[in-house]
Structure 1
Amino acid sequence: MQATKQQQILGYFIEEAKEHLDTIERGLLDLQATMADTERLNELFRAAHSVKGGAAMLGFTSIHKVGHHLEDCFKLLTDHPVKIDQSLENLFLQGFDILKELVEELQSPYGLKEEDAAQRVQAAEPTFAELQNYLNRLLQEERNAGKPAIAVVQPVPANPELANRLHGALKMMLQLFKQGDTPANRQQLATLCSRMVQLNSSAEWRRLLQAVHSALAHPRNTYAIMAPLVIKELKLAGDLLLVGRASEIIPSTALQQLTIHPAPTPQLVAKLPLPEATHQPAVREVTTAKANQIIIPAEPRAAARALLEAFNKSQLIELAEFLMKAIQ
């Protein structure tokens, strides 16, 4: 009975934490607009505070610590607004990604291993130190200039309609990624890319959207890999469009790699046993050959995410039992 109660409490915390993470993510994806809205900025602070408090109550020290870092930085912004630039946005997003990954692991079959999480948080300390130092430097620059701090990263876009359409498209894309990986969902994302091409006639913008479209066309590119990369690239490209610097838009090497699919190497392909006596295939075809292979990244954490997306719960349990026998 006690274990059931604990699971219920954990479930409540995860659901609430996911809502708070959505609030933080939306605010950070358009930090300039967030800074201009006091209530939205306060929402970021309250969201980080709530995640921190819930984690402390349940004994998740790593989540509590990361939430505390973000809460302190959001508090600094609410008390002393500063100029927002790309470096500050990137540092905030890096810190947020750590918090999001820790909360997501609570839902994994093995849960959050606090010892491993503590090591990851320790490795992330330089990121939070850099974020804190950068904020302090921006504050000092405002004081030295003798001007009141203002939350502006660049002049107001000459085309506010374009800014709104870009923001709306990114928000819709983020929601589609969160809905899960299905053929219909990927088709909607591809359609959204086609519509976004029409927002600007520059060849550079079109080339970026074509790269995103190509990456989406390959099922082996998981949402866990694509979502943060695609959203960030389109956000940066959109910022360049709004200030008339479309010629500087270039797809990153990471995105271009998702559009290139050489024959799988032995190091990256794992042949997984199919569960016996099943009525449907355990995995959908993701190469061009037999439907009993999925691409497994070499990095353990990314490999775990690929397995979670490819198998259902009962299959994961069977796979875990198989692996435990293999290593004994």
Structure 2
Amino acid sequence: MVQSTKQQQILGYFIEEAKEHLDTIEQGLLNLQATMADAEEMNQLFRAAHSVKGGAAMLGFDSIQKISHHLEDYFKILKENPVKIDRKLEDHFLKGFDALKALVEALQSPFGLRQEDADRALRDSAPAFAALGKHLNGLISSEAAAAPTSTLPANAAAQVNQILKLMLQLFKQGDSPKGRQQLMTLCVKLAQLDKTSQPWVLTVQTAQRAIANPNASFAHLAPLIIKELKQASDLLLTGRASEILPSHALQKFVGTGGPTTAPAAKATPAPASTPTPVPETVAPMVSGNGVANGNGVSNGNGPSNGNGASAPVATRQRQVAIPADPKGAARALLDHFNKGELIQIAEFLMKAIQ
């Protein structure tokens, strides 16, 4: 009876969190075109489906896991292949969402989510997801056909790699007026790869201006600029130049205001709700030769401590951030532990408060 009560508590946490994620998904789907225009909102949509999938997998709800996984996959495709949303695509997404919502609501019914109902929902949703995939692929193909032909040279990727290697070598040689001039010349060559792409040209010019700033040290510029130009060139070469944007970190080095040293950290009192890192000790399991076997049981042939018991093995620390509020703490535990571990944690807590 105690075990059942604890499991009900864990289930309650999952349902509460899943309903919040479902609200996020529903709001995003009701105006999908506007959601796609905002990268952060699109990321929230993807993360919401991912979180429901993870919680369902932990608790053994296969139907909820599979349907939320379908949504997660199609949200990922939509993130990577922006298309013009039509009513048909929205309807397909909403049908898949409705199936997921119905399963989560069934968990709250007096009988819970019965296996036959879960299997039926999974079967009924399959055609909707198949139609969603087919229609989405059609929209992506149409967008690709209508896209303007790239003006990039055939060996653009090789040129980018060669220029970035030269820039890295110049940074390693140390700061000098000649080195800065050579780096700026390489930036000009990068910009000329596609002078029609304003986002690309803007990002390269921002890097060039940062290099021209004498107050910006190579130690700060080198990793930032190489990473920034590599990411931007990847987007350019894959036809996603519209997503290129110079970061705020890079823009800070432009002009005379660029920092020459790393800013000193300011000590500020932590708010009451600041998550507290709690170390979790995980002991590797010992096999016959003293090597972790992953099954949680020692076969008795490992090192002995002299009294017949296996010697303790090394432990590794994993940090888990536990928020100060109970609701947030429960969510953190659900994210980091499986079903068996959560039950053990609940037992420890029950003993501690008795």
Report the TM-score, using the length of structure 1 for normalisation.
0.44
From the CA coordinates, give the structure whose radius of gyration is larger. Answer: 2
With normalisation by structure 2, the TM-score equals: 0.41
